[in-house]
Amino acid sequence: MSTTAARDLSRGNPIRVGFAISGAVSAIIGILILVWPGHTAVVVTAVIAAWAIIGGLVYIALGIFAHLGGWSRIGHIILGAFFVIGGILAFTRLGATTAALFLFVGILVGILWIVEGVAALGTLGGARFKVPTLIFALLSIIAGIVLLFSPLYSVVLWLWLGVALLVLGIVQLFRAITWGRGAARGTDA
């Protein structure tokens, strides 16, 4: 890291600090996913379960203490109870919940890719370059169908996420180091 970059980070240049923190967190999470994919998935599931419990308690508190009408009060309490119960159940069977989460995400991403491909086909008429649009649409639809009918491929997506986070984190760290170097020339990193 150059002395200018180190000085900017130590002085708290907010853009550089933001890039550095974002890049470091991204790279660390990417490494964790790649080194311990199963354990990291369980930790992510546990974080989601904890979020559900905390969110549920907030909804229950809103239902009890906020000045809400009758049905709104009841709805907040019921929603909060579902969140808390779901979070507790997720913690009691963390492995099964992780598997179910992978299955759900795999199916969801499969559907999204199919819809994205169909939407891309819808833009084909107005596309300046039709071949790349057509290739993207067909690949998206095919990948969505494959993932939809074999959602266990979501494990591959998990590993791909690890690679992507690691690479993006490294690039973001590079941006933190080089940010502002081209300012005198009117460019930046």
70 touches 119 (CB < 8 A): no
pLDDT tens sequence across 15-34? 888 888 988 998 999 999 99
The closest alpha carbon to 45, from 152, 158, 153, 163, belongs to 158
Q: Give buried/exposed letters for 132-164 (b at 16+ CB in 10 A, else e).
A: ebeebbeebbebbeebbeebebbeebbeebbee
81: pLDDT strictly greater than 60: yes
What pLDDT is attached to residue 130?
A: 82
**Domain boundaries, given as residue ranges, for the chain:** 14-180
- pLDDT score recorded for residue 141: 93
Structural tokens at position 86: 């779901």
Residue 76: the pLDDT is 92
Query: How high is the pLDDT of residue 11?
Result: 58
Q: Would you state the pLDDT for residue 107?
A: 86
- Using the 8-state DSSP alphabet, how is residue 131 labeled? H
Q: According to the model, what pLDDT value does residue 39 have?
A: 92
Structure tokens, 92:
């009691």
CA 164 to CA 36: how far, in whole Å?
15
Is pLDDT of 168 > 60? yes
Average pLDDT, the chain: 85
Which range, of 38-52, 55-69, 84-98, 168-182, averages the lowest pLDDT?
Answer: 168-182
- Do 24 and 170 meet the contact criterion of CB atoms below 8 Å apart? no
CB atoms within 10 A of CB 73: 16
